[in-house]
Amino acid sequence: MQKIPLRQEPIAASVTPLAKDGKFHVRLTEGRFQNLRRLTTWPLIGLFFGLVWLQVDGQPILFFSFEQRKITLFGSALSWHDLPLLAGIMIAGATLLFFMAVAWGRIWCGFACPQSIWTWLFIRIETLTEGRANQRAKTQGQPLTGLRLLRRITKHLLWILLALLTATTFTGYFVPIREIVSNALQLQMSLSLLGWLAIMAALTYANAGLVREKICLHACPYARFQSVMFDRDTLTVSYDAQRGEPRANQRVSRDSSGDCIDCGICVQVCPTGIDIRDGLQAACIDCAACIDACDTVMDKLQRPRGLIRFASEQQLLGQASLFLRPRLAGYAAIMLFAFGVVAYGFTETKGLLVEIRRDRTHLVTPLDQDTMCNLYRVKVEGFAKEQALIKVSLAQQQYQLHGPAEIDLRESNSVWLPFRICGSRGGAQRTAVEFVFTGNGIQTSKTTTFLTRLM
């Protein structure tokens, strides 16, 4: 049997269209990997559309509030000062992505990437309204009249509806979703919010409905540096050329022919329109649709499965492949370290932030012959519901604090309040005084200076 040289690095994608005008239509297939992909994607879709509605004690379970400068993250209240933690989560997620790329290629792209998930949703709507891929390919370019026009309009209306639902849900993580829906039903939505929803819906419609695979091929940076991360033991969707070549139609096959009958189904089911038989390609997202399609054909021909399968370059050469190897172990160590740092960061968050400013117009004010007073403006921000009432005191008992003894943060989580500290004239010119703020299970202090006279 003829041996086909194996590829070492990704090559450019060669799209094999199904329609005469160059547009290819993705053919849906079934199989174990597509079932596994649905087990991954449908819970993610459910979380995306469902979490925005979930509340605990009247508070969203996941919310980014610009007005209150507060982040609610699964019950934990964070301030905007904790934004580096979100950056840390992204960095830790990137290390997980790198680890997965070394081990299993672009499996994230095929099984969990939002671009891929929404593309499959739009393809299913297209199949539901306009028919299967071969039907769409045959009628591509024909005049839009009658039933075909109605089907096309229905498809785009459903695409727009899904895009609007996506945009509204995404915005609901920054603006209360119930407020958005209520304003929309009452036709009272602001122009800024309406414009934002229109932009997000248009981007969703274009990305998943019109652009699709071009995002994976031209816009996604992951497709560009994946070849740097792959090694000879990386498991990725691969065509076994030594078994499949030379290709031959089943009706004219010979004893020297390979198992590939050149049916082209692996190309028809590929969402990026590549031919996996050309080797590893930058556009391949490892969705495994070609594996399921090819296995179906092999079953019908009563031949072994696995002509296309997850395999490493070593395995295609008939050699043993190592899963646990130094490179993968290094990425695993970096990933664990990154997640450990993020986890530690969450233990160091502050639920109460305090800022103290001196009143520059009245630095030192005499109260009587023996007492001098300093004026301050104090800002208190609380980020947890149980810290709605904050008690204020001074650590130094020789000073008198004039101002509200308790701060109410139930109406607003951030307030500015005036305070006055009075002390003896005979003290030192500059003395450190400490404000103490006590909430439910938390205590924060802030130090400032008390002046008995101007310098």
In a domain, 18, yes or no: no
**How many CA atoms lie within 13 Å of 27's alpha carbon, on the beta-carbon side?**
20
Average pLDDT over residues 409-429: 83
CA 355 to chain centroid: 34
Tens of pLDDT along 364-403? 888 888 888 999 999 988 877 666 788 999 988 888 899 9
Of the candidates 183, 180, 152, 155, which has an alpha carbon nearest to the alpha carbon of residue 167?
180
Q: Does 114 have pLDDT greater than 90? A: yes
Q: Are residues 100 and 129 in the same domain?
A: yes
Selected residue with higher pLDDT from 30 and 216: 30
Q: Does 168 have pLDDT greater than 90? A: yes
Mean pLDDT, the chain, rounded, equals 86
Res 169: pLDDT? 97
**Residue 301: φ, ψ to 5°:** -85, 0
Sorted by sequence, the CB contacts under 8 Å of residue 276 that are 6+ apart come out as: 237, 238, 239, 266, 267, 270, 284, 290, 308
Which amino acid is it at 366?
P
Tens of pLDDT along 84-96? 888 999 999 999 9
Q: Are residues 254 and 208 in the same domain?
A: no
* Contact indicator for 307, 42 with CB cutoff of 8 Å: no
Omega prior to 176 cis, within 30 of 0 = no
Q: Are residues 357 and 334 in the same domain?
A: no
Report the helix count and the strand count for the chain, using DSSP H and E: 15, 16
Q: Are residues 131 and 202 in the same domain?
A: yes
Query: Domain range spanning residue 396?
Result: 352-451
- What is the number of other CB atoms lying within 10 angstroms of the CB of residue 256? 9
Q: Are residues 220 and 118 in the same domain?
A: yes
Say how many domains are in the chain. 3
Question: Looking at residue 374, which CATH number applies to its domain?
Answer: 2.60.40.10
**Residue 138: φ, ψ to 5°:** -70, -35
Q: Give the span between the Cα atoms of 442 and 419, in whole angstroms.
A: 21
Q: Does 196 have pLDDT greater than 70? A: yes
In a domain, 85, yes or no: yes
Tens of pLDDT along 330-339? 999 999 999 9
Confidence of residue 252 (pLDDT cuts 50, 70, 90): low
* Contact indicator for 162, 207 with CB cutoff of 8 Å: no
DSSP-assigned letter for residue 217: I
Sorted by sequence, the CB contacts under 8 Å of residue 169 that are 6+ apart come out as: 48, 49, 52, 177
Q: Are residues 114 and 37 in the same domain?
A: yes
The radius of gyration computed from the CA coordinates of the chain, to the nearest angstrom, equals 32
Q: Give the span between the Cα atoms of 144 and 139, in whole angstroms.
A: 9
Average pLDDT over residues 223-247: 87
Res 231: pLDDT? 87
Q: Are residues 106 and 202 in the same domain?
A: yes
| 25, 128, 129, 164 from 152: Cα distances, Å | 14, 11, 7, 18
Q: Does 37 have pLDDT greater than 50? A: yes
DSSP per position, 240-263: -HHHHPSP--GGG--TT--S----
